[in-house]
Structures are given as C-alpha cells and as structure tokens.
C-alpha cells in the first residue's frame, strides 16, 4: 500500500467516528486500484453514517452489476459486519440465501446474528409433505425435527433445501424447530431494484467457487 494510503488509513483510524475520513481512504484506495480496500473503507463510512449517499452507492455498485450473484451479497454483508454495522448487514445475508440457499458463509454469519435473539439459521434436509414432517440441519450442524402445526407457520410451502430461521427447543422426541420462518427476499436498504430478480429460479445449485 502506498505511503499516501497508509497516511489516509492512520487518519481514518484516529478519528474512527468521522465518516469523511473513511470516505477519503475509500477514494484513495479506488485511485490506487485497491478495490477490496476501497469497499472496506466505504463500509466503515456507512457504519458511522448509515445514510451516507456516496458510501451506499459504492457498495451498491457491484450488487447492481451482479444482482443474481449470492456471493456478492455475502461479500457486502461481511464488509458491513466487519465494519460494525450488523443491522445493515443482515438483509444482505438474507438476500444471499434467497438467491442461493447453499451459500454457506451467509448461513453461518446469519446464524451468528440470530444467536443474540435466541434463534439460529438452517436448511430443511428432508421433508415429507404427506406426513407433514421432516428434518432441519442448523448452521452449527445440529439436526432437529420439523413437523405438524409448527410447519404450517413457516410462511411458504416447505421443501428440501429451503433455508429457515428457527428456535431449537427440546421435546420428548428430541430437539425440534420452533417458530420456523422461511428466509425469503428482504427489503434491502440499498442495491438492485426489484425488477433485477424477476427471472430468479426458486432454488439454485451451489455457485462455483
């Protein structure tokens, strides 16, 4: 990193609650072709000032360019989490899972956020529609039952691979999913317009890395 960027970074870190310091660092990183550093600095600016138009536009740009790519939504969410803006990050994690239920990083990071509310995230690994019962595997790898009247409240038809948020509770038959809610498309604070998703299939295969 150039001396100029080092200077800008030190200044931004000294006054971490001044969004403009992070903006100057972001623009300096952009001029130097340091895309990752620029996006991280824009995220720090947005964490300080959530309505900052330039920061929102900068982080929205790759999402608008790749509205079907779950990995980009996960990346922006991770930048916001690392910057200390979990409320801004959460909708992008949900969007990533709506686009691709197999997006592992998004599932894990969302589960971390939900843990503070006594909830977690997982996916249905098997579902029998006739018996109205199945199994959910949480982000932490625990398998829990999903069945009966509980499943009716999930908000949409259930099927293998569907990502859910849930509370794990104990029952006489072992751990079960309580209050499950399908992870659907959220309202984003910024990013692509709704029209960008009209051709999205319900379930996609895991994206190639």
Give 11's pLDDT tier (boundaries 50, 70, 90).
Answer: very high
The per-residue pLDDT of the chain, averaged, comes to 89
Residues 7 and 101 occupy one common structural domain: yes
* pLDDT: which is higher, 171 or 46: 46
pLDDT in tens, 55-97: 999 999 999 999 999 999 999 999 999 999 999 999 999 999 9
* pLDDT: which is higher, 203 or 188: 188
Eight-class DSSP state of 46: H
Residues 123 and 178 occupy one common structural domain: yes
Confirm whether 27 is domain-assigned: yes
For residue 120, give its domain range.
Answer: 113-182
Q: Find the DSSP H helices in the chain.
A: 3-14, 19-31, 35-48, 53-65, 70-83, 86-99, 104-115, 148-152
Question: Residue 25 is part of a domain; what is its CATH number?
Answer: 1.25.40
Contacts of 3 (CB under 8 A, 6+ apart): none
Residues 101 and 121 occupy one common structural domain: no
Confirm whether 60 is domain-assigned: yes
Contacts of 207 (CB under 8 A, 6+ apart): 69, 70, 71, 100, 102, 103
pLDDT in tens, 91-148: 999 999 999 999 999 999 999 999 999 999 999 999 888 888 899 999 999 999 997 6
Instruction: Give the span between the Cα atoms of 175 and 143, in whole angstroms.
Output: 8
Q: Looking at 117-172, which runs of residues are DSSP E strands?
A: 120-128, 133-138, 143-147, 163-171
Q: Please give the radius of gyration of the chain, using alpha carbons only, rounded to the nearest integer.
A: 20
Residues 78 and 133 occupy one common structural domain: no
Instruction: Give the span between the Cα atoms of 146 and 103, in whole angstroms.
Output: 22
| pLDDT score of 209 | 43
**How far, rounded to the nearest angstrom, does the alpha carbon of residue 31 sit from its chain's CA centroid?**
28
Give 16's pLDDT tier (boundaries 50, 70, 90).
Answer: very high
Residues 128 and 143 occupy one common structural domain: yes
Residues 128 and 46 occupy one common structural domain: no
Total tally of structural domains belonging to the chain: 2
- From the list 180, 45, 198, 59, the residue with the least C-alpha distance to 123 is 180
Give 155's pLDDT tier (boundaries 50, 70, 90).
Answer: low
Check whether 153 has a pLDDT greater than 70.
Answer: no
Question: Residue 145 is part of a domain; what is its CATH number?
Answer: 2.40.50.140
Q: Which of 76, 106, 136 is the last residue of a domain?
A: 106
| pLDDT score of 200 | 53
Check whether 151 has a pLDDT greater than 80.
Answer: no
Q: Which of 81, 106, 131 is the last residue of a domain?
A: 106
Instruction: Give the span between the Cα atoms of 44 and 66, in whole angstroms.
Output: 22
Query: Please, are residues 127 and 134 in contact by the beta-carbon 8 Å criterion?
Result: yes
Check whether 149 has a pLDDT greater than 90.
Answer: no
Can you say whether the dihedral through the CA atoms of 98, 184, 80, 119 is positive or negative? negative
Confirm whether 200 is domain-assigned: no
Residues 146 and 82 occupy one common structural domain: no
Total residues found in the chain within this entry: 209
pTM for this entry: 0.88
| pLDDT score of 128 | 87
Instruction: Give the span between the Cα atoms of 201 and 170, in whole angstroms.
Output: 35
Residues 83 and 8 occupy one common structural domain: yes
* pLDDT: which is higher, 110 or 204: 110
């Amino acid at each position: 990193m150039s001396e100029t960027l080092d200077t800008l970074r030190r200044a931004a870190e000294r006054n971490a609650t001044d969004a403009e310091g992070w903006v100057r660092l972001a623009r300096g990183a952009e001029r130097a072709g340091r895309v990752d550093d620029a996006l991280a600095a824009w995220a720090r600016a947005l964490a300080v000032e959530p309505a900052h138009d330039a920061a929102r536009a900068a982080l929205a740009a790759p999402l608008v360019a790749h509205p079907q790519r779950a990995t980009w939504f996960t990346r922006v969410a991770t930048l916001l989490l690392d910057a200390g803006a979990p409320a801004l990050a959460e909708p992008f994690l949900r969007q990533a899972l709506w686009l691709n239920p197999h997006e592992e990083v998004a599932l894990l990071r969302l589960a971390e956020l939900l843990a503070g509310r006594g909830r977690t995230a997982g996916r249905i690994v098997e579902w029998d529609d006739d018996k109205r019962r199945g199994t959910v595997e949480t982000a932490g790898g625990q398998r829990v039952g999903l069945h009966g009247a509980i499943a009716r409240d999930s908000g949409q038809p259930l099927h293998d691979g569907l990502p859910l948020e849930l509370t794990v509770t104990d029952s006489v038959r072992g751990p079960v999913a309580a209050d499950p809610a399908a992870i659907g498309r959220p309202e984003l604070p910024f990013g692509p317009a709704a029209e960008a998703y009209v051709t999205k299939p319900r379930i996609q295969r895991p994206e190639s890395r």
